[in-house]
Amino acid sequence: MRDIDLREAADLIDRAERIVIFTGAGVSAESGIPTFRDALTGLWERFDPRRLATPEAFGDDPALVWGWYEGRRAAVERVEPNAGHRALAAIEQRAPECVVVTQNIDDLHERAGSKEPIHLHGSLFAPRCSACGRPAEVEGTAETDDGRVTPPPCDHCGAPIRPGVVWFGEALPADAFEAAVAAAANCDVLITVGTSGVVFPAAEIPQVTARMGGTVIQVNPDPTPLDSVARINLRGAAAEVLPALVSM
Ligand code: BV8
Ligand code: ZN
């Protein structure tokens, strides 16, 4: 990553009135949370996440899917936000206007000080009834030996509680997606961090900014389809690049 790119990116961010921060699983990688593709270890390693993160998988084997999410929630509760999350919170505090939009279901942006990030794909901390939709309490995870955990029944109707996340084939929360598109359409700079840019419609968000004349800055150690959308590609890890950016 060239210093000139870092300097140019820092200047664009300093001068921006309205900023959008758009993140994927890569921003939580240095906290020790595997990215979505790497999240399948142990019991789940033989599954494709795109098969497990679906209403069908939950319908077929609720304990397998609920156990996967409970294990991921327990992992998030054991780790801390990293220097990348904290640098993003610092950018957010300095900017006249800044909206954080995340595809992640962890709460690490919040714990790093970001105010009300928009969760396009829901949250590990918002379980709800799979039938009547009533919110359910997040309880201590019932550790079992094989990782399967039977989801608790809804207090109201008895149906199984499900994770409060957006599965493949499910619509994103309309209010969240609309707010994210509006912010992306009106910002001067969108910083996209740690996303592979392959899951839609979330992956549209940086394209909206570019189409509306805003500037996209990407932070990712690897090439992604967003390389052609970004005016500046900062090739590197979030917890290294972002602190360097805010200390310029
Ligand atoms: C919808 C929550 C319609 C759950 C997630 C073709 C066939 C079938 C379906 C489709 C198709 N084309 C489009 C679709 C639709 C589908 C889709 O996009 N599929 C993809 C796979 C092609 N989309 C949907 O189904 C969406 N819904 O379309 O509904 C509809 C409309 C109306 C009414 C009814 C229905 C819903 C998609 C949401 C799925 N849920 N997450 C959970 O977390 O379990 S998506 C999940 O995967 C993540 O949220 C993330 O967004 C996505 C990708 O995961 P990863 O790749 O791991 O993470 P990320 O993208 O962030 O990549 C990691 C990146 O970090 C990499 O680039 C890596 O280089 C980088 N990195 C690594 N280390 C670091 C780093 N970066 C910085 N620092 C580091 N240290
Ligand atoms: Zn219910």
pLDDT (tens place) for every residue of the chain, 248 residues total: 777 899 999 999 999 999 999 999 999 999 999 887 776 666 667 778 888 999 999 999 999 999 999 999 999 999 999 999 999 999 999 999 999 999 999 999 999 999 999 999 999 999 999 999 999 997 776 666 678 999 999 999 999 999 999 999 999 999 999 999 999 999 999 999 999 999 999 999 999 999 999 999 999 999 999 999 999 999 999 999 999 999 98
Q: Tell me the two tokens of residue 130.
A: 């799979």
What global pTM score does this model have? 0.96
Q: What pLDDT was estimated at residue 39?
A: 63
**38 in the same domain as 27:** no
Pick from 162, 182, 216: which residue ends a domain?
162
Q: How many domains does the chain have?
A: 2
Q: What pLDDT was estimated at residue 86?
A: 98
**186 in the same domain as 105:** yes
**107 in the same domain as 139:** no
**Structural domain harbouring 54:** 34-78+128-162
Q: What pLDDT was estimated at residue 40?
A: 67
Query: Which residues are marked as active site?
Result: 121
**237 in the same domain as 179:** yes
Angle at alpha carbon of residue 176, lines to 21 and 36, rounded to 5°: 65
Q: What pLDDT was estimated at residue 46?
A: 74
Nearest residue by C-alpha to atom 15 in ligand 1: 200
Distance from the alpha carbon of residue 240 to the mean position of ligand 1, in angstroms: 24
**86 in the same domain as 45:** no
**133 in the same domain as 117:** no
**113 in the same domain as 27:** yes
Residue 194 CA: nearest ligand 1 atom is: 76
Beta carbons of 132 and 154 less than 8 angstroms apart? yes
C-beta 26 within 6 A of ligand 1? yes
Distance from the alpha carbon of residue 205 to the mean position of ligand 1, in angstroms: 13
C-beta 174 within 6 A of ligand 1? no
C-beta 106 within 6 A of ligand 1? no
